[in-house]
């Protein structure tokens, strides 16, 4: 049976970095994938302009098309200031999306990321996904985002993956989506470079005996 998937990310580009290959694999298998973004990832920068925001939105539209996402939701919360917003306000907006989409599987951020928006997103998603009777969500996974997950304080909520998705056939699609976000990517040896993303996917794959993989922490699964 085909599934409905919802990716909840703090910013556009997190979806491609964290689970772009997995999204492409879901789409290829006939699943329907939606994405929700809490903030824009741009307007917190002191030099940001309307042109910068337009460029980011254009890049997002291209990347989401490459990945095959059916529909995206832009929630418009303040960028890099999600900790200034009452959690209830974020949860209520997410609950509206969950009611519309009725996802079976949810992907979101790891709760130990350096970026505060990532951490708040994780908390809001877990709150919105309370296991109430008749809830549609049966699986929740946390992904890693290069230049955030591995940059947090050592030993404090480390990312320890226990689920690996073979994206060997979809690595090129992931990299094409990252290329759409080229203004957000950095040159080597920065952690958030396209080459490092490729190498990281290959390293995750090699750790489980496949060509390329994305790693996740299983938060909950109901069978």
Q: Where are the domains of the chain?
A: 4-221
Global confidence as pTM? 0.97
Query: pLDDT tens digit string along 156-170?
Result: 999 999 999 999 999
Per the prediction, the chain carries an average pLDDT of: 96
**4-221 — its CATH code?**
3.40.50.10320
Query: pLDDT tens digit string along 47-105?
Result: 778 888 899 999 999 999 999 999 999 999 999 999 999 999 999 999 999 999 999 99
Go through 108-141 and write b for each residue having 16 or more CB atoms within 10 A of its CB, e for each that does not.
bbbbbbebebbbbbbbbbbebbeeeeeeebebbb
pLDDT at 41 over 90: no
- Residue 43: pLDDT band (50, 70, 90) is confident
- Residue 42: pLDDT band (50, 70, 90) is confident
């Amino acid at each position: 049976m085909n599934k409905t998937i919802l990716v909840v990310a703090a910013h556009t580009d997190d979806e491609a970095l964290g689970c772009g290959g997995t999204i492409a694999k879901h789409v290829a298998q006939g699943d329907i994938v939606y994405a929700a973004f809490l903030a824009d990832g741009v307007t917190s920068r002191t030099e940001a302009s309307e042109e910068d925001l337009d460029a980011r939105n254009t890049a997002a539209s291209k990347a989401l098309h490459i990945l095959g996402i059916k529909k995206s939701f832009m929630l418009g919360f303040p960028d890099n200031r999600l900790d200034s917003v009452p959690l209830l306000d974020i949860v209520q907006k997410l609950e509206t999306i969950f009611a519309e989409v009725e996802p079976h599987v949810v992907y979101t951020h790891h709760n130990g990321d350096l970026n505060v928006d990532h951490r708040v997103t994780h908390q809001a998603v877990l709150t919105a996904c309370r296991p109430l009777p008749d809830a549609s969500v049966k699986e929740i996974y946390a992904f890693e985002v290069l230049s955030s997950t591995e940059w947090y304080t050592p030993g404090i909520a480390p990312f320890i993956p226990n689920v690996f998705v073979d994206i060997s056939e979809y690595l090129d699609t992931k990299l094409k989506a990252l290329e759409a976000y080229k203004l957000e990517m950095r040159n080597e040896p920065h952690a958030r470079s396209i080459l490092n993303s490729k190498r990281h996917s290959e390293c995750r794959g090699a750790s489980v005996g496949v060509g390329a993989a994305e790693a996740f922490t299983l938060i909950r699964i109901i069978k």
